[in-house]
Structure 1
Amino acid sequence: MSYAVVNPATGATIKTYPTISDADLQGAIADAAEAYRTWSKSTTVEERAALVRRVGELHVERREELADIIVREMGKPTEQALGEVDFAGAIYEYYADHAADFLKDEQITLLDGEGSAVVRRSALGVLLGIMPWNFPYYQVARFAGPNLIIGNTIVLKHAEQCPESAAAIEQIHLDAGFPKGAYVNVYATHDQIETVIADPRVQGVSLTGSERAGAKVAEIAGRHLKKVVLELGGSDPFVLLSTDDLDATVQNAVDARIDNNGQACNAAKRFVVIDELYEPFLEKFTAKLAEIEAVDPTAEDAALGPLSSLKAAETLDDQVKRAVEHGATLVHGGGRDGAFFQTTVLTDVSADNPASKEEFFGPVAQVYRAADEADAVRIANDTPYGLGSYVYTTDDEQALRVADSIEAGMVFVNVVLADGAELPFGGIKRSGSGRELGRFGADEFVNKKLIRIG
């Protein structure tokens, strides 16, 4: 394993970073454990919130520098990179504003009326964060922000292709005033991470990544009885049942598919369209996607850059070819030039086609025809994943009915790209467990201690 910045647009290796030694890794855990025993115990929620607020401010102050880093690391178009940095800053600010309320004592009404009872929230200790490359700042913010305010300390293992942004995030926490050990970045190998999870000083693990990585981490954590939060993959349905503006709906569908170069766990990936709208939607949707070309992510108005790596593009290429081999129709696209992948539309994906059960991480859309509402819900749920979903309809009652029927952790009705710092994020089935963001995200790694007074 090597940590390196490899520009996917050019293939050039810009800088490599050595992995941490076993001795230094033990030192990092020791620093985090000491910071938990000392700093976190001697500070108030308000004091820790002030530091987290400064972390958010530094993200915004350094937004251009931070954005340039992830454009180099994973090919995100510049405007989207700037937007991610701003969103990360907003998440830190949100938790600074609301942490005291989230952590206040919760009174419990006793049935016998004798005495009192309260649930008091407090930190667990050292947490391990294992973060992905697709949103290098945002993913860290939604894990680190609430947990540092709570008083947990963090050992952060970022993706191998994001070492520069990982270092920049650690520096921001130090510059904001956090003491040594409160937030520690480690360039660790997979084998080393197994030892971190097993370490008795580490009380919990949060992973955002692939299903395979999540299963491995959960297995190790389970052996050592560690709390885990898993944010894994998704193959989110975009269910179109009715619309009074097809062009606007199509544009929303396009935006939901190509955001972050199509590499978002909760992106719309399977478009399930009611029979009477199927043909006009497919025609307009395909035409819109065909207008979008994968270009240099630093180009002005770039909407689609390269995939995160050559390997990622090759994997997507293989998936598309296998889908066609199993009977899918390639309506548009399918071309690849290095890490640049053409916008692609597949139809006629049968239930026994492997593509119907896989996650396509890139600008590839599958379009399905649904006979009616019940059929649309059936197709939407015919996946091992259950992260997000999208429902478009002009019927309010139908919207709620379908939202209740969809097997997912999130349902967005008549809106896309509507994540917010205050909104819980997470899934069910093979998309993971636990929640991040909002008050639910702040409630994962806490000791909800009952204090019963007679």
Structure 2
Amino acid sequence: MSNIIRTIYPFTGEILKEYKRFTEEQVIETINKSAEIFQTWKSISLDKRINKLNNLKKTLEEQKEQCANFITHEMGKPYKESIAEIEKCIWLIEFYKENAIQFLSDDIIKTEAQESFISYDPMGVILAIMPWNYPFWQVLRFAIPTLTAGNTVLVKHADNVTGCALAIQRVFETAGYQEGCFQTVLVSHKQVRSIIENKNIKAVTLTGSEKAGKAISKITGEHLKKTVLELGGNNACIIWEDADLDKYIKTIVNARMQNAGQSCIAAKRFIIVEEIYDEFVEKFKSELQKLRFGAPTDPKTEISTLAKEDFVKELQEQINESLKMGAKVVIGNKYKKAFFEPTIIENVTPGMPVFDEEVFGPVAAFTKAEDREHSIQLASQSKFGLGTMLFTEDIENARKQIDKIEDGAFFINEMVKSDPRLPFGGTKNSGYGRELSKEGILEFVNKKTVYVR
């Protein structure tokens, strides 16, 4: 692998900037700095760490447009979605500013002791390996609770959003965080092993593919280090015959096409009860055709290119293999360079790549279910377990399906989405551990039992 990282504007193929990867000496120096600063940072009172969040929020608000432009240019996200991503990060900061004291306060437990409680102590330096599809949100939803708990963090971001990674570091430093609290390491995947093996790294979190999760968990397992994995998914979107399509069709289309379909929690498998199937196909198709394509920088653009031309080839392979097995294109399946036209594939059945695998792009796979029970059975036929969404007016019956779905999330009449107030994570091959909410801030702390006789 080259020692040079190039960021590219996917809409035109223009090279934006070049960066040099860290040498091994730089990596060790960065880790040591993190470990050294941890000794100071952990001793700062929780009140003072929370006060830093006020500065962070203000800094991010002041730099919102600049940060959004980094996202739009490096991965091709439409500008208005990039702005929304930064605004969601600001909401995240506000959430932990308001709730961190409650989450991290000693938990008093009555026993025979004079005093007994759980103390939530920071662990040390935490390594985060982050993806490109939500380059600010994915990093901040890890870093904010982890830093507020008293840890320091190292981030290995995806190469194609290196500018975003460095911009995030500058935001923290501008907000008054000590240099070394948050650091970006520009390293290759091969260099990640030596970072994890370093004695100063206490835990690892990864948001990425199933393959990456297996590779990282193998290394962390060898060294008995805590890991949180948020991996791929092929979420089912179930449509029962009583679904209010006029009310929810925009939500349903957005569940697949937001971020050009490049989301782990996007609706990927649409499982429709046959009684409403034809109506659903027509309304989905009609709404899909309304999406405005254009340059990511145009504020009116609703869908644009994929983040890399390579991803188009992967999509095409999954679709072609499914077509050979009997699937049929309803609309789309045209592509040029990094752009892939929003696509509907029907006659999809288990065993096809577009049903079994994670399809990372604007491709909606339609499967017809005989009835409600069959729809739940089909939705459950997945090695992944991030989330399921069900659209129906029969809320009472929908509630009865919750324990039949093994996923980490179950949304009724809404697309699966992350929310600072709610825990986020998966089951099965979608990983383990939780981000966000109270559960997220407690992932990287030592839950220490204290007993005073």
TM range (shorter): over 0.9
Q: Which amino acid aligns with 2:335?
A: R
Change beyond 3 A, Cα 1:322–1:294? farther
1:114 CA displacement: 4.6
1:106 corresponds to: 107
Distance 2:304 2:335 in 1: 12
Distance 1:291 1:173 in 2: 39
1:27 corresponds to: 29
Q: Which stretch has the larger CA shift, 144-153 or 279-288?
A: 279-288
Q: Which amino acid aligns with 1:257?
A: R
Listed as ranges, the matches of 1:15-414 within 5 Å are 15-41=17-43, 43-110=44-111, 113-243=112-242, 245-292=244-291, 294-414=293-413
Q: Which stretch has the larger CA shift, 131-140 or 283-292?
A: 283-292
Q: Which amino acid aligns with 1:106?
A: D
1:294 CA displacement: 3.6
Structure 1 vs Structure 2 CA RMSD:
1.3
2:8 corresponds to: 6
2:431 corresponds to: 432
1:106 CA displacement: 0.8
Q: Which amino acid aligns with 2:291?
A: I
Distance 1:373 1:227 in 2: 40
Change beyond 3 A, Cα 1:299–1:417? farther
Change beyond 3 A, Cα 1:207–1:236? same
Distance 1:75 1:114 in 2: 59
TM-score with structure 1 length normalisation? 0.97
Change beyond 3 A, Cα 1:166–1:416? same
Contact 1:294 1:341 in 2 (8 A): no
Name the SS of the counterpart of 2:159 in structure 1: coil
Distance 1:272 1:188 in 2: 41
* CA displacement 1:339-377 (0-9 Å, x = unmatched): 011011111122222322111111100111111221111
Distance 2:351 2:131 in 1: 30
TM-score with structure 2 length normalisation? 0.97
Distance 1:82 1:161 in 2: 19
Name the SS of the counterpart of 1:444 in structure 2: coil
Q: Which amino acid aligns with 2:184?
A: N
Tell me the number of residue pairs that the alignment of Structure 1 and Structure 2 aligns.
451
Distance 1:207 1:241 in 2: 35
Distance 1:55 1:218 in 2: 32
Contact 1:77 1:305 in 2 (8 A): yes
Q: Percent identity?
A: 35
* CA displacement 1:253-275 (0-9 Å, x = unmatched): 10111111111110111111112
Change beyond 3 A, Cα 1:169–1:393? same
* CA displacement 1:151-199 (0-9 Å, x = unmatched): 1000111100011111110011111111121111110111211111011
1:446 corresponds to: 445
* CA displacement 1:285-332 (0-9 Å, x = unmatched): 122213335421122321101000101122112211121122111111
Contact 2:244 2:392 in 1 (8 A): no
Distance 1:185 1:352 in 2: 40
Distance 1:313 1:202 in 2: 36
Q: Which amino acid aligns with 1:30?
A: N
Q: Which stretch has the larger CA shift, 153-162 or 84-93?
A: 84-93
Q: Which runs of at least 4 in structure 1 moved beyond 3 Å after TM superposition? A: 113-116
Gaps of 5+ in 1: none
Name the SS of the counterpart of 1:269 in structure 2: strand
Distance 2:132 2:197 in 1: 24
Q: Which amino acid aligns with 1:267?
A: A
Distance 2:113 2:104 in 1: 25
Distance 2:138 2:309 in 1: 23
1:404 CA displacement: 2.2
1:417 CA displacement: 5.9
Distance 1:327 1:379 in 2: 17
Contact 1:257 1:267 in 2 (8 A): yes
Contact 1:242 1:392 in 2 (8 A): no
* CA displacement 1:11-34 (0-9 Å, x = unmatched): 111111110111011000000000
1:418 CA displacement: 4.8
Change beyond 3 A, Cα 1:352–1:438? same
1:71 CA displacement: 0.6
* CA displacement 1:220-258 (0-9 Å, x = unmatched): 000000000000111001111144632222221101111
Name the SS of the counterpart of 1:412 in structure 2: strand
Q: Which amino acid aligns with 1:411?
A: F
Contact 2:423 2:440 in 1 (8 A): yes
1:416 CA displacement: 2.2
Gaps of 5+ in 2: none
Name the SS of the counterpart of 2:364 in structure 1: strand
